[in-house]
């Protein structure tokens, strides 16, 4: 899925692999978590013909902006408004497809400094030299780097840039204010074969620097959606987002728009070492971090939203200030996959974004449980095989799609989730047309993928993100006095836990 032509003279140590295994945790993962703001993002359902003002539950909530491509509306709240309650009220409206609080997301990076590692081992691991026999990347394929900016004068990057934009300050200054974006850009498309510094996966492709953060490195989900839309409209075919943002509706909607324009979006899984309760986002490639011995890094997130794994420990890449440094984290894994996507597109420009995404999955080395698993996804990426698949021949057709990942987890998991309905209380009364928030607590040894709610056996809603909450507007209550309200939790191994309460009319 990534074409590349071999003209490079990289140290053969890169192909031979490093001398050691996953380094001891001499690094530290910054204690950075998403921060919710007092803004709300939402999208009306397709076909809605009214005005947004009709949907707002309070005059203290006002529409402030919109992202036209994916149809996202941005709402500003006055301080007197409870943002969580406002989201619940909006989700209860049948005219609204989704609503969520805007979040500010930190970069998914782990900083490492261990010069004993051979530089750029990851290029040999993913068989990049085999891909380069076909293509090193076409200048016509542009990789958008949605990040903290990029070093404008770096000798391995400066000649690669196309015009970008600074969405944080609303100007054209895309210089790196944090150091993160320069590293991710170098993973994907630093210049190779120039006898300077390092090479990269798709070193013939170009880079579109899009700054989406402040100097603290945090990016808001609204800004991410704006930047993805802008990149799609300005010719980018690949977009990398080294922030754990797969599970946000706003990001998914913008990625859908990017995909419809023929592109592929790669996103970091995150570095908390947790199991995500989210499901597969079909509009992105969510990337876990693998090590030089093909294990999943201990700090890499895993779970139902993982598509593939990619090297993410101790990558020697470009750094701010025209320097080079070691870079680890799913922040490093995702742009490696972005580079592979760019190679695939360079090898076969006629491929759609969906086809490229499927090629990357299908061509990966299946290192975990057979087929999809919650650690490696469909496998550790293989650039050489991906580019071969893009060329056709005896390889699988790129138009063929993989089935949705079957929920799997470590072999032998038979423990069902424990589940409790905390709202509404058992025995409470409900009414037609009066919104009800169904809140559920769940515990599991692996991770919960989804919670479904049923009234008398009929599905009334689902939630894929903890804390699990389902907004329901009853409209089928009859003269029957009591109803069975049931909730079911499904974990990553397909085990189910069920609970029920009785509500009355």
In words, the CATH class of domain 35-104 is alpha beta
Q: At 28, phi and psi to the nearest 5?
A: -135, 140
Going by pLDDT thresholds of 50, 70 and 90, the confidence category of residue 261 is: very high
pLDDT tens sequence across 3-20:
323 222 222 222 222 323
**Which token pair is 457?**
């056996």
Residue 28 confidence (pLDDT) above 60: no
Catalytic-labelled residue, pool 89, 156, 180, 452: 180
Tell me: cis bond preceding 111? Omega within 30 of 0 counts: no
Please confirm, yes or no, whether 169 is among the known catalytic residues.
no
Q: What is the pLDDT of residue 473?
A: 86
* Half-sphere exposure (Cβ direction) of 257: Cα atoms closer than 13 Å: 23
d(CA 83, CA 100): 9
Q: What is the pLDDT of residue 494?
A: 62
Catalytic-labelled residue, pool 89, 147, 176, 307: 147
Q: What is the pLDDT of residue 446?
A: 62
Residue 312 confidence (pLDDT) above 90: yes
Please confirm, yes or no, whether 428 is among the known catalytic residues.
no
Nearest C-alpha neighbor of 287 from the set 300, 274, 276: 300
- Pairwise pLDDT comparison (496 vs 447), residue with the higher score: 496
pLDDT tens sequence across 377-429:
999 999 999 999 997 433 333 333 333 333 333 334 567 888 999 999 988 88
Catalytic-labelled residue, pool 310, 331, 346, 364: 331
35-104 and 418-504 have identical folds: no
**Proportion of the chain above pLDDT 70, given as a percent:** 84
Buried b (16+ CB within 10 A) or exposed e, 38-72: ebbbbbbeeebeeebeebbeeeebebeeebebbbb
> What average pLDDT does range 86-101 have in this prediction?
91
* 75 C-beta neighbours (distance < 10 Å), count: 24
Q: What is the pLDDT of residue 182?
A: 96
**Which token pair is 438?**
């169904």
Residue 195, classified by CB atoms within 10 Å of its CB into exposed (0-12), middle (13-18) or buried (19+), is: exposed
Question: What CATH number does the domain located at 418-504 have?
Answer: 2.60.40.10
The mean pLDDT of the chain is 83
Tell me: cis bond preceding 467? Omega within 30 of 0 counts: yes
Say which CATH architecture domain 13-31+106-390 belongs to: 3-Layer(aba) Sandwich (3.40)
Sequence ranges of the domains in the chain: 13-31+106-390, 35-104, 418-504
Residue 348 confidence (pLDDT) above 90: yes
Residue with tokens 């071969």: 388
Return all residues near 195 (Cβ < 8 A) that are at least 6 apart.
9
Q: What is the pLDDT of residue 412?
A: 46
SS percent in the chain: helix, strand, coil, step 5:
20, 30, 50
Of 237-241, 462-466, 496-500, least confident by mean pLDDT is 462-466
> What average pLDDT does range 246-265 have in this prediction?
95
3-state secondary structure of 333: helix
């Amino acid at each position: 899925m990534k074409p590349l032509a071999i003209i490079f003279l990289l140290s053969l140590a890169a192909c031979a692999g490093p001398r050691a295994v996953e380094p001891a945790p001499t690094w530290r993962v910054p204690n950075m978590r998403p921060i919710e703001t007092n803004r709300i993002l939402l999208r009306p359902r397709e076909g809605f013909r009214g005005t947004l003002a009709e949907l707002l539950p309070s005059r203290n909530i006002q529409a402030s902006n919109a992202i036209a491509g994916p149809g996202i509306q941005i709402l500003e709240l006055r301080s007197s408004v409870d943002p969580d309650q406002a989201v619940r009220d909006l989700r209860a409206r049948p005219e609204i497809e989704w609503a969520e609080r805007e979040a500010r997301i930190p970069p998914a990076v782990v900083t490492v400094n261990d010069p004993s590692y051979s530089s750029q081992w990851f290029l040999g691991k993913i068989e990049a030299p085999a891909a380069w026999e076909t293509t090193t990347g076409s200048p016509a394929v542009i990789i958008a780097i949605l990040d903290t900016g990029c070093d404008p004068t770096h000798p391995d990057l400066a000649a690669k840039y196309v015009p970008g934009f600074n969405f944080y300050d609303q100007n054209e200054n895309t210089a790196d204010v944090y150091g993160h974006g320069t590293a991710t850009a170098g993973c994907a498309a630093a210049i190779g074969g120039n006898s300077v510094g390092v090479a990269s996966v798709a070193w013939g492709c170009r880079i579109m620097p899009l700054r989406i953060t402040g100097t603290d490195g945090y990016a808001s989900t609204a800004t991410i959606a704006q930047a993805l839309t802008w990149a799609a409209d300005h010719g980018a075919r690949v977009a990398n987002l080294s922030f754990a943002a797969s599970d946000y509706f706003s990001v998914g909607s913008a990625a859908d728009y990017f995909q419809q324009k023929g592109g592929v979006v790669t996103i970091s899984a995150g570095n908390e070492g947790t199991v995500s309760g989210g499901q597969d986002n079909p509009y992105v490639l969510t990337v876990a971090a693998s090590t030089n011995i093909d294990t999943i890094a201990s700090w890499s997130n895993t779970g139902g939203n993982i598509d593939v794994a990619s090297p993410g420990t101790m990558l020697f890449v470009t750094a701010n200030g025209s320097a080079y440094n070691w870079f680890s984290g799913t922040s490093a894994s995702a742009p490696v996959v972005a580079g592979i996507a760019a190679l695939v597109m360079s090898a076969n420009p006629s491929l759609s974004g969906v086809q490229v995404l499927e090629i990357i999955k299908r061509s990966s080395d299946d290192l975990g449980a057979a087929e999809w698993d919650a650690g490696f996804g469909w496998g550790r990426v293989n650039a050489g095989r991906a580019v071969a698949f893009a060329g056709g021949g005896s390889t699988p057709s790129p138009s063929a799609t993989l089935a949705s990942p079957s929920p799997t987890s470590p072999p032998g998991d038979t423990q069902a989730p424990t589940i409790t309905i905390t709202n509404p209380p058992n025995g409470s009364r409900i009414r037609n047309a009066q919104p009800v928030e169904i809140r559920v607590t769940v515990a599991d040894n692996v991770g919960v993928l989804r919670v479904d709610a049923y009234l008398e056996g009929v599905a009334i809603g689902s939630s894929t993100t903890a804390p699990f909450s389902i907004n329901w507007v009853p409209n089928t209550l009859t003269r029957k006095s009591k109803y069975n309200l049931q909730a079911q939790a499904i974990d990553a191994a397909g085990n189910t836990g069920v609970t029920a309460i009785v509500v009355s009319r």
